[in-house]
Structure 1
């Protein structure tokens, strides 16, 4: 019976195998893309942390060039130091040059001041207040409108969104080829509690 298998049956078998292989290939591509996005988001966060730490060292009167060089040599940036904000600005008067406190003076439109929230915090906060899932482009447009002094790039916002997904603060859903983001239930509940407490 197997010797008399019609050619159409063999064609169907090959068609199914090719379709399965193609599906597996596309799934692997998506996995690699997700991993790449996560790594980009992690790199972006590390660069942002380095920028804040260098600014803080400059405020404290340290040599900016040696601080930047030292920052490049280290492999990890402690996150706990980011919250120090303007701590120690009163002690900066002993430096040779007058220093400027974070958030004052001229600021570049591309970065953020030391006291401002990160892109990840902004995206989580925006989605927690939104009435449904949003794409990275929609989130970028909303943040650009809400924060005109900061340069919003869709790739940076997408990385921040993926970071939120990795930390279980956001959820990702797909509709066709489009990806949408919404707050994780715990993040949405904490936003509603915060909104209720604020006047």
Structure 2
């Protein structure tokens, strides 16, 4: 029994000593902070007195105040935050982008007629079109001609024009579709004549026979 009563008393003594030490430390800390607060208050009081004296002297000299009378207005520059200026700048940028976006379609529309006029400008006003050249050449022929032969003849008579066989063939087919030209076929070759050519019905017979074929002989 005596041993059981001794252990709790020792533990209580340790807690009591710890609490006493903490209280002393807390009290010393409060005294330190209080002394610092007193010193700061004294400094603040001195600054306030000096400030009042300086303001009085400034008013007596009739000078405009160079600084706010109290520290609170120092926060005035923050009254107009930077985001407002940034938003106005961004608004101006958006307006400029909108104007550019509106101007871009107009420029594109203006560029389309210019692009369409470019091929016309490449050809002289008094220069006939390829359709006119092909139609006129067919009207002068007495015998059917292939697209390659028509392109070769037009290229010789118009050296300044870039006349291609594929384009001439397309033009000839367009004339056939309009009834302004006739198309005849002999073997694998295709020949063209004018629609009103008198030799059109006899075009296959009047055309030169291909290699390997013999002309028909009459009895």
TM-score by length of 1: 0.40
- Higher Cα Rg, which structure: 2
Higher relative contact order (CA 8 A, sep 6+): 1
TM-score by length of 2: 0.36
